[in-house]
Amino acid sequence: MTEASPVTVAVTGAAGQIGYALLFRIASGAMLGPDTRVRLRLLEVPSAVRAAEGTALELSDCAFALLDSVDVTDSPATAFDGAEVALLVGARPRGAGMERAELLEANAGIFGPQGRAINDNAADGVRVLVVGNPANTNALIAAASAPDVPRERFTAMTRLDHNRAVAQLAAKLGCAVTDVDGVTIWGNHSASQYPDLTNATAGGQPVPSLVGQDWIESEFIPRVARRGAEIIDVRGASSAASAASAAIDHVRDWVRGTPDRWTSAGVASDGSYGVPEGLVSSFPVRSVDGRWEVVQGLPVPEFSRERIDASVAELAAERDAVRELGLLG
Ligand code: NAD
Ligand code: LMR
């Protein structure tokens, strides 16, 4: 990405909760840095275009120095035209009585066409982050619909889970979040995910001996894995500002590089750690030269193996369900 010309950033679901918390931070430079101007493209369904236009008016009223332009459209081809970053936030929520297969199919109807539009219109080096749930499988569907775009460019967001895990651990230990290192989220962005502290340190000390296995199993893992449901219960709506903040973190680190510690992201598996090739699974990752690399060689004790396998089995079942529906091409 050149610093001189604006970077085109497409955001879907722009009139939604996360969109409202995300767009102003992108425009302020929090995602691509203080020297990079941004050209925003907001994609919405026709019935929400007017609301997105209202958000565009507010973006204008902020007089952001880095904001080059804002366009609102209901056309994926227009939204992704020349896009270097695509944040796929808009998704179909689960309705009352809706089966999982129906949810997958409804979302395939969104992420298949958007993947094709990215394939046909986006910039060569496009980076895609899928936030809309079920994020991992939506990323798989979008990637399958974009055969000309390398798979590694389609990622799913598990950074919110990662940030939740770091925050929970820091609160338990009474330390700063910046003292925590080596936390990993494995698998699916769902309650089956495995927040792993095996290799975590706090202030350089191994975390498992500081907190004990009992706390990890009975409090930490369920707390992090079910935090999305806790937010819905307490707030009365699903996480929005924290999800937007995690999306900013994911793209910032992808583009600008991870600083001195690894993070977690849903990336297409290359078979590492026994995760079947092609599944979009969360791994420990570093961003090196603008590409996510899975951190290799970490010990995986039996307890971790079982939990990684369980979440990966859920991802494989989701993949099989969308394949049976003929949605993977
Ligand atoms: P929301 O309902 O407030 O907004 C979603 C928006 O997407 C709506 O404005 C809707 O009109 C739009 N939309 C629907 N279909 C679209 C399409 N085909 N093209 C463009 N826009 C479309 O929801 P929200 O709170 O902003 O959440 C968005 C998604 O993010 C949900 O699927 C939610 O479950 C998910 N989420 C993921 C994470 C994560 O960590 N991965 C965290 C929180 C929420
Ligand atoms: C979250 O982790 O907060 C969301 O994915 C929860 C949800 O179901 O929207």
Give the model confidence (pLDDT) of 194-212 as tens digits: 999 999 999 999 999 999 9
Residue nearest to atom 4 of ligand 2 (CA): 228
The verdict on whether residue 131 carries a ligand-binding annotation is: yes
Atom of ligand 2 nearest to the CA of 229: 6
Instruction: Check pocket membership of 238 for ligand 2, CB cut-off 6 A.
Output: yes
189 is catalytic: yes
The pLDDT value recorded for residue 3 is 52
Q: Is the pTM of this model over 0.95?
A: yes
Burial 122-150 (b: 16+ CB within 10 A, else e): bbeebbbbbbbbbbbbbbbbbbbbbeebe
Give dist(CA 135, CA 155) in Å, integer.
9
Strand partners, 180: 202
**Best mutation site among 94, 231, 235, 282 for ligand 2, i.e. most ligand atoms within 8 A of its Cβ?**
231
Which atom of ligand 2 is nearest to 243's Cα? Answer: 3
Alpha carbon 47 to chain centroid, angstroms: 26
103 lines ligand 1 (CB under 6 A): no
Taking the centre of ligand 1 as the mean of its atom positions, its distance from the CA of residue 13, in whole angstroms, is 5
Where the chain has pLDDT below 70, the residues are 1-3
User: Catalytic residue among 116, 189, 250, 307, which?
Assistant: 189
Question: pLDDT at position 69, please?
Answer: 98
Residue 107 is assigned to a ligand binding site = yes
ipTM of the complex: 0.99
Q: Please state, in angstroms and as integers, the Cα–Cα distance from residue 215 to each residue in 30, 141, 178, 219, 306, following that order.
A: 35, 37, 21, 5, 18
